């Protein structure tokens, strides 16, 4: 599904990702953990095509069975989105005066156009909104308000998952979707995500805490440290990190010991 | 990626102004220059009464002793007033019995502008007056309005048919001495629209005027007068376009509104005069005086404007709140791109007790343009318990444009309450990226964000006009982020 090889990326001349490689198969859920500043959000931004970041080396390939693989780096952000890449932002932005529903309607129409489909009728669209907003227990009121404007932190994160449910991506990247959520909101968000798991939809779940992974059980756990994946394992790696913290990772990766 | 952006910018800045065609119809045009003879010629051509000729000549004398205003945040070469032709009329039969007699070329022009009169009649039930160059060429729906006693016609016709009304109100809100351009307009105005709503009548349809400058080397000097008698209501729309020309064309209009006791006038403008090319060549100089007098108790005047065109905009639709409990409103979106300059805003003059005013101004600047809000809120001694709320926001699309706010507040009554809020923001890269990530392209993203930003004002426009305005905003700003 997604193949990242030897990815190097920098911002303002500062190298943040330093040879990151990762293989994600269809339907898999990969958790990416790591201390603050290790480059997790940078990875998400580079995948989504944010232009502030300069990719200096490496490749990212998106593939789907029966289709020619796509060089993700050659695509503009909106094209990546239309190819099925979705990013749930760590800090979703507010767009005053733009109704959440109009925004989604326009986005969905673009996604469908790319797949050769007509836009949904108003009725079909509203039915879809009803169905998907229930997934994350999003109040109908929120759907009608301006995009994220005046939403609480938890509401913003639920809105991200709602949008994901509406756009049905094949690769979803969740950047610290759990941060700032209380336990109830966390459960709601996680059950929304779980409902969307399927054999041809993959997830990259970026998180600082293993708590989220009790609800969204990953197939693989990776530790990102100083711009590289330094350790990979199964679910038990998250528990180990929780118990031992990140210090042992730091020690293992001292420049002297490399 | 940065590359792509520049490409888009190149592509759309090369985009042509969509209304830049000229119509090849015969024009009856006066020789250039401004003097008493020209005024006499205009007045004679229009078969005007003697009082009006005198009124014009006095205006000319006033104008000759005035200087063009220099206080606005605008830079331009003053037009050569002697090089302009002050009268240009499409040559055709002087009176039309029905719209079917209209010159076919003129008809085509209206179609191109999207204001086919037939369409208007059938679909929207909106009465339209069409003013090309200086002369009103067609007014629809007159008979139907007449049943209600509503007068909606060209200014020339009003002068002929309703001289008492015109004489009573002309120049009462914007006197000839008001300013340089108002004096000029009073001397040379050739047409415009006139509207009178009788007592207690709620006008059942939107009244609209489309203004178009067509002939080269001319100016447009129309005069609009709207009088709403006691307890009446009218919603009035105004749209403007002009051909693309390398020279600067002068537009100096005067609009006067009068609302008597408990009357309400809602005046909406979508101004899209040719703005000049991307290097600032050509474009309309738009020097307009618009003022409303809330003469009566509980009267209300509301200005809504979407300004996207003109090389220079100098325009301050204002309200004089004379009647107790009267209300003035000003809702504005002003977009400037490339080399455009706008200095626009409003004046709210509170004279009566318990008068209220609201000002919502949304500036959007792009390219290397300059966009200024200039507003005066004046609470006079007797305006007890007057209230004003002003909000002036500026949105910057590039690092090379300028946004300026000049609020003037004068309060002479201690029981009044005046609130002013102002913000300036740069269009968010984060907002744009958020939209791109959901699959929208950059143009769509900008259009959404800008329309969201201007929503409070766009919501004040009549529905079909709002849709037009939204499209116009998107077109004016395509590819303008940087
Ligand atoms: N706009 C920027 N300019 C300069 N440095 C940045 C910028 N954004 C992020 N960084 C730096 O990149 C590093 C990785 O940041 P980030 O990817 O946000 O980490 P994480 O999400 O793992 O906490 C940090 O050292 C951060 O300071
Ligand atoms: Mg982060």
**pLDDT tens-digit readout, B301-342:** 999 999 888 888 889 999 999 999 999 999 999 988 888 888
Q: Is residue A12 within 6 Å of ligand 1 at its C-beta?
A: yes
Does A27 have pLDDT greater than 60? yes
Please give the structure tokens belonging to residue B122: 């059938």
pLDDT tier, B21 (very low <50, low <70, confident <90, very high otherwise): low
Does B134 have pLDDT greater than 60? no
Which range (A139-148, B214-223, B434-443) has the least confidence? B214-223
Q: How far apart are CA B109 and CA B23, in angstroms?
A: 7
pLDDT value of position B416: 96
Closest CA to A241 of A226, A256, A225: A225
Candidates B1, B439, B451; nearest CB to A51: B1
Closest CA to B137 of B209, B185, B218: B209
Closest CA to B403 of B440, B454, B362, B443: B362
Distance from CA of A184 to the nearest CA of B (A): 27
Give the residue, by CA position, lying nearest to ligand 1 atom 1. Answer: A11
Does B314 or B471 have the greater pLDDT score?
B314
Does B25 or B298 have the greater pLDDT score?
B298
User: For all residues of chain A together, what is the average pLDDT?
Assistant: 91
- Share above pLDDT 90 across residues of chain B, in percent, rounded to a whole number: 47
pLDDT value of position B298: 98
Whether residue B37 lies within 8 A of chain A, CB to CB, comes out as no
Does A67 or B258 have the greater pLDDT score?
B258
Q: Which helix (H) or strand (E) covers residue B250, if one does?
A: strand B248-251
The residue of chain A nearest to residue B455, with distances taken between CA atoms, is A97
Cα dihedral A204→A210→A212→A216 (10° resolution): 60
pLDDT value of position B14: 34
Does A256 have pLDDT greater than 80? no
The reply to whether residue A89 touches residue B439, judged by beta carbons under 8 angstroms, is no
**What's phi and psi for A171, nearest 5 deg?**
-135, 120
pLDDT tier, B209 (very low <50, low <70, confident <90, very high otherwise): confident
| Residue B230 vs residues A127, B247, B300, B322, B406: alpha-carbon distances, Å | 49, 45, 11, 15, 35
The reply to whether residue A95 touches residue B435, judged by beta carbons under 8 angstroms, is yes
Does A232 or B28 have the greater pLDDT score?
A232
For chain A, the C-alpha Rg in angstroms (whole number) is 18
Does B217 have pLDDT greater than 80? no
Distance from CA of B283 to the nearest CA of A (A): 32
Please give the structure tokens belonging to residue B25: 């119809």
Closest CA to B282 of B20, B86, B34, B15: B20
| Separation of CA B360 from chain center | 17
Question: Is the pTM for the entire model greater than 0.90?
Answer: no
How many residues appear in chain B?
482
The C-alpha angle B437, B439, B441, rounded to 5 degrees, equals 100
Q: How far apart are CA B271 and CA B285, in angstroms?
A: 12
Does B125 have pLDDT greater than 50? no
Mean pLDDT of B383-403: 93
For residue B272, give the DSSP letter: -
Does B10 have pLDDT greater than 50? no
Letter string b/e over residues A211-232, b meaning 16 or more CB atoms within 10 A of that residue's CB: ebbebbebebbbbbbbbbbbbe
Does B5 have pLDDT greater than 60? no
Which of the listed ranges B237-241, B255-259, B465-469 does the model predict with the highest average pLDDT? B255-259
Does B191 have pLDDT greater than 90? no
Whether residue B437 lies within 8 A of chain A, CB to CB, comes out as yes
B197, B235 Cβ separation under 8 angstroms: no
Residues in B touching A87 (Cβ below 8 Å)? 437
Q: How far apart are CA B258 and CA B260, in angstroms?
A: 6
pLDDT tier, B102 (very low <50, low <70, confident <90, very high otherwise): low
pLDDT value of position B462: 81
pLDDT value of position B95: 43
pLDDT value of position B400: 87
Ligand nearest to the CA of A42: 1
Please give the structure tokens belonging to residue B472: 């116009």
pLDDT value of position B9: 31
Where do we find the tokens 């143009």?
A: B443
A123, burial (CB in 10 Å: exposed 0-12, middle 13-18, buried 19+):
exposed
User: For all residues of chain B together, what is the average pLDDT?
Assistant: 83
Does B89 or B316 have the greater pLDDT score?
B316
Does B254 have pLDDT greater than 70? yes
Cα dihedral B49→B55→B57→B62 (10° resolution): -170
Q: Is residue A37 within 6 Å of ligand 1 at its C-beta?
A: yes
pLDDT tier, B119 (very low <50, low <70, confident <90, very high otherwise): very low
Q: Work out whether strand B254-259 and strand B223-228 pair parallel, antiparallel, or are unpaired.
A: parallel
pLDDT tier, A210 (very low <50, low <70, confident <90, very high otherwise): confident
Residues in A touching B430 (Cβ below 8 Å)? 93
Top residue of A78, A109, A171 to mutate, by most chain B CBs within 10 Å, is A78
Tell me the residues of A at the B interface, defined by beta carbons under 8 Å apart. Answer: 48-52, 76-78, 81-82, 86-87, 89, 92-93, 95-98, 102-104, 106-108, 110-111, 114, 146-147, 163, 167
The reply to whether residue A87 touches residue B439, judged by beta carbons under 8 angstroms, is no
| Residue B200 vs residues A89, B32, B67, B150, B263: alpha-carbon distances, Å | 57, 46, 43, 11, 8
How many angstroms is it from A9 CA to the middle of ligand 2?
Answer: 15
Does B367 have pLDDT greater than 80? yes
Distance from CA of A234 to the nearest CA of B (A): 30
pLDDT value of position B375: 94
Q: Which helix (H) or strand (E) covers residue B105, if one does?
A: helix B104-112
pLDDT tens, position by position, A92-147: 999 999 999 999 999 999 999 999 999 999 999 999 999 998 888 887 777 778 99
pLDDT tier, B27 (very low <50, low <70, confident <90, very high otherwise): low
Closest CA to B88 of B37, B36, B45, B139: B45
Q: How far apart are CA B291 and CA B288, in angstroms?
A: 10
Q: Which helix (H) or strand (E) covers residue B166, if one does?
A: helix B163-169
For residue B120, give the DSSP letter: I
Does B214 have pLDDT greater than 70? no
Q: B404 has which bridge partners?
A: B372
pLDDT tier, B2 (very low <50, low <70, confident <90, very high otherwise): very low
What is the value of ipTM here, to two decimals?
0.96
Q: How far apart are CA B12 and CA B482, in angstroms?
A: 13
pLDDT tier, B139 (very low <50, low <70, confident <90, very high otherwise): low
Q: How far apart are CA A155 and CA A151, in angstroms?
A: 6
The reply to whether residue B436 touches residue A81, judged by beta carbons under 8 angstroms, is yes
pLDDT value of position B73: 87
Q: How far apart are CA A200 and CA A192, in angstroms?
A: 17
| Residue B98 vs residues B114, B117, B150, B163: alpha-carbon distances, Å | 20, 11, 19, 24
pLDDT tens, position by position, A163-196: 999 999 999 999 999 988 888 889 998 998 999 9
The residue of chain A nearest to residue B4, with distances taken between CA atoms, is A76
The C-alpha angle B112, B118, B123, rounded to 5 degrees, equals 100
For residue A198, give the DSSP letter: B
pLDDT tens, position by position, A32-78: 999 899 999 999 999 999 999 999 999 999 998 788 899 999 999 99
């Amino acid at each position: 599904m997604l193949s990242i090889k030897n990815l190097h990326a920098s911002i303002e001349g500062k190298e943040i990702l330093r040879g990151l490689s990762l293989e994600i198969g269809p339907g898999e859920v990969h958790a990416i953990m790591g201390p603050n500043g290790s480059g997790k959000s940078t990875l998400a931004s580079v995948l989504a095509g944010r232009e502030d970041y300069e990719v200096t080396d490496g490749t990212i390939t998106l593939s789907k069975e029966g289709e020619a693989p796509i060089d993700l780096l050659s695509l503009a952000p909106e094209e990546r989105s239309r190819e099925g890449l979705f990013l749930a932002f760590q800090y979703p932005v507010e767009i005053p005066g733009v109704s959440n529903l109009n925004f989604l309607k326009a986005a969905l129409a673009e996604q469908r156009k790319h797949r050769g489909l007509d836009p949904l009728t108003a009725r079909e669209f509203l039915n879809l909104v009803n169905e998907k907003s229930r997934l994350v227990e999003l109040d109908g009121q929120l759907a009608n308000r301006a995009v994220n404007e005046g939403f609480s932190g938890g509401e913003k994160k639920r809105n991200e998952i709602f949008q994901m449910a509406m756009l049905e991506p094949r690769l979803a990247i969740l950047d610290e979707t759990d941060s700032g959520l209380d336990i109830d909101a966390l459960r709601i968000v996680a059950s929304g995500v779980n409902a969307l798991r399927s054999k041809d939809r993959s997830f990259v779940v970026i998180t600082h805490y293993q708590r989220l992974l009790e609800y969204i059980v990953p197939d693989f756990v990776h530790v990102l440290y100083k711009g590289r994946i330094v350790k990979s394992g199964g679910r038990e790696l998250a528990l180990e990190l929780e118990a031992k913290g990140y210090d042992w990772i730091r020690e293992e990766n001292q420049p002297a010991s490399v | 990626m940065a590359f792509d952006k520049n490409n888009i910018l190149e592509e759309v800045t090369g985009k042509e102004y969509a209304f830049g065609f000229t119509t090849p119809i015969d024009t009856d045009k006066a020789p250039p220059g401004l003097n008493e003879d020209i005024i006499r010629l205009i007045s004679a051509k229009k078969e005007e009464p003697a009082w009006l000729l005198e009124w014009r000549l006095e205006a000319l004398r006033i104008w000759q002793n005035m200087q063009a205003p220099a206080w606005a945040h605008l830079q331009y070469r003053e037009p050569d007033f002697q090089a302009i032709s002050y009268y240009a009329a499409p040559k055709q039969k002087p009176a039309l019995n029905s719209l079917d007699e209209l010159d076919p070329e003129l008809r085509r022009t209206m179609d191109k502008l999207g204001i086919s009169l037939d369409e208007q009649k059938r679909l929207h039930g909106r009465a339209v007056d069409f003013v090309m160059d200086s002369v009103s060429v067609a007014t629809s729906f007159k008979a139907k309005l007449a049943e209600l006693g509503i007068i909606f016609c060209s200014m020339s016709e009003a002068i002929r048919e309703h001289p008492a009304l015109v004489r009573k109100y002309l120049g009462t809100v914007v006197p000839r001495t008001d300013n340089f351009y108002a004096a000029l307009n009073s001397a040379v105005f050739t047409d415009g629209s006139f509207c009178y709503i009788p007592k207690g009548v709620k006008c059942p349809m939107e009244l609209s005027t489309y203004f178009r400058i067509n002939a080269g080397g001319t100016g447009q000097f129309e005069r609009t007068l709207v009088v709403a008698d006691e307890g009446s209501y009218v919603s009035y729309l105004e749209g403007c376009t002009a051909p693309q020309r390398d020279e600067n064309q002068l537009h100096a209009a005067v609009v006067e509104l009068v609302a008597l006791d408990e009357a309400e006038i809602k005046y909406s403008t979508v101004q899209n005069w040719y703005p000049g090319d991307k290097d600032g060549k050509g474009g309309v100089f738009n020097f307009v005086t618009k003022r409303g007098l809330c003469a009566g108790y509980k009267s209300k005047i509301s200005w809504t404007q979407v300004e996207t065109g003109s090389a220079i905009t100098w325009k301050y639709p204002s309200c004089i709140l004379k009647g107790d409990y009267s209300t003035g409103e000003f809702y504005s979106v002003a977009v400037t791109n490339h080399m455009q300059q706008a200095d626009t805003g409003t004046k709210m003059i509170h004279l009566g007790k318990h008068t209220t005013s609201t000002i919502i101004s949304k500036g959007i600047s792009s390219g290397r343009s300059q966009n200024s809000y200039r507003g005066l809120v004046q609470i006079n001694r007797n305006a007890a318990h007057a209230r004003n709320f002003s909000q002036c926001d500026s949105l910057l699309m590039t690092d090379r444009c300028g946004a300026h706010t000049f609020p003037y507040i004068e309060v002479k009554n201690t029981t009044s309450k005046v609130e002013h809020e102002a913000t300036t923001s740069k269009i968010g890269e984060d907002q744009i990226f958020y939209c791109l990530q959901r699959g929208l392209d950059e143009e769509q993203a900008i259009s959404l964000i800008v329309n969201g930003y201007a929503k409070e004002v766009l919501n004040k426009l009549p529905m079909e006009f709002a849709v037009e305005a939204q499209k116009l905003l998107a077109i004016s700003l395509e590819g303008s982020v940087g």
